[in-house]
């Protein structure tokens, strides 16, 4: 499936989504809620959920009935097969089931596609914000889109937890941009121009 056709698949499933929940599944699951109702998107919630409490915490959040849940699919990408490979798929199963229960549409994106699109540009983070090197590009893209470093991410520690919330926030912001069929408006200078490319979307579901 081409990136452009994948974008059309998302828009055919749901035409607009003001409140988008992003989920980065794993042993530690990142969650983030983006409100796109205003002129600029706003990160209204971000945090992490540990596997032992995943079903109850995810149920509480999805029960709030966001317009869309978007989660990252699991890819091996050269990783060794071990017990940690099981955790993301356990959480993905929970998310799909809870979305069906609460009649919330969901979509799956893969890191090999959406991160390449989303992280190709950004703005340097303001002092004293620090993130680990592996998530610097994602954090820069979030700052680029919001024009500020959002308060919900400031309170998350340690950095090993923060990286999961950063991925979830980027995922929600990116899904919102796809739905609008253009890059988000920026508050800051140096905003990147829309590329016109859309990511592949799979495992889509719109409850009846």
Cα–Cα dist 145/188, whole Å: 8
- Alpha-carbon separation of residue 111 from 1, 95, 189 (angstroms): 15, 18, 27
Q: What is the predicted pLDDT for the residue at 198?
A: 39
List the chain domain ranges: 3-205
Task: Determine the pLDDT at residue 6.
Answer: 41
Share of the chain above pLDDT 70, in %: 75
User: Distance between CA 138 and CA 116 in Å, rounded?
Assistant: 10
Higher per-residue pLDDT: 14 or 180: 180
- Please tell me the predicted confidence (pLDDT) of residue 34: 95
CATH 3.30.420.10 fits 3-205, yes or no: yes
Query: Which H or E run contains 70?
Result: strand 68-73
Q: Is the pLDDT of residue 191 over 70?
A: no
Q: What is the mean pLDDT of residues 201-207?
A: 56
Strand-strand pairing, 68-73 and 19-24: parallel
Q: Is 24 helix (H, G, I), strand (E, B) or coil?
A: strand
Mean of the per-residue pLDDT values for the chain?
80
**Residue that wins the pLDDT comparison between 5 and 72:** 72
Segment 2-36, tens digit of pLDDT? 333 344 455 555 556 789 999 999 999 999 999 98
**Is residue 84 over pLDDT 70?**
no
Contacts (Cβ under 8 Å, ≥6 apart) of 18: 35, 36, 37, 67
Give me the pLDDT at residue 79, please.
Answer: 58
Output the pLDDT for position 10: 53
């Amino acid at each position: 499936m081409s990136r452009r056709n994948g974008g059309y698949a998302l828009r055919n499933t749901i035409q607009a989504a003001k409140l988008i929940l992003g989920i980065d599944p794993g042993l530690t699951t990142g969650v983030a809620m983006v409100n796109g109702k205003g002129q600029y998107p706003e990160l209204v919630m971000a945090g992490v959920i540990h596997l032992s409490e995943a079903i109850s915490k995810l149920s509480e959040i999805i029960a709030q009935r966001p317009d869309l849940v978007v989660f990252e699919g699991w890819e091996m990408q050269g990783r060794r097969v071990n017990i940690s490979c099981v955790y993301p798929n356990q959480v993905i199963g929970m998310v799909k089931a809870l979305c069906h229960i609460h009649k919330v549409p969901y979509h799956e994106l893969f890191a090999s596609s959406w991160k390449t699109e989303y992280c190709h540009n950004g703005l340097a983070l303001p002092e004293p914000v620090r993130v680990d090197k592996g998530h610097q590009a994602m954090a820069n893209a979030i700052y680029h889109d919001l024009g500020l470093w959002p308060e919900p991410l400031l309170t998350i520690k340690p950095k090993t937890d923060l990286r999961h919330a950063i991925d979830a926030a980027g995922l929600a912001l990116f899904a919102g941009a796809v739905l609008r069929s253009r890059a988000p408006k920026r508050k800051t200078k140096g905003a990147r121009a829309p590329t016109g490319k859309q990511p592949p979307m799979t495992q889509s579901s719109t409850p009846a």
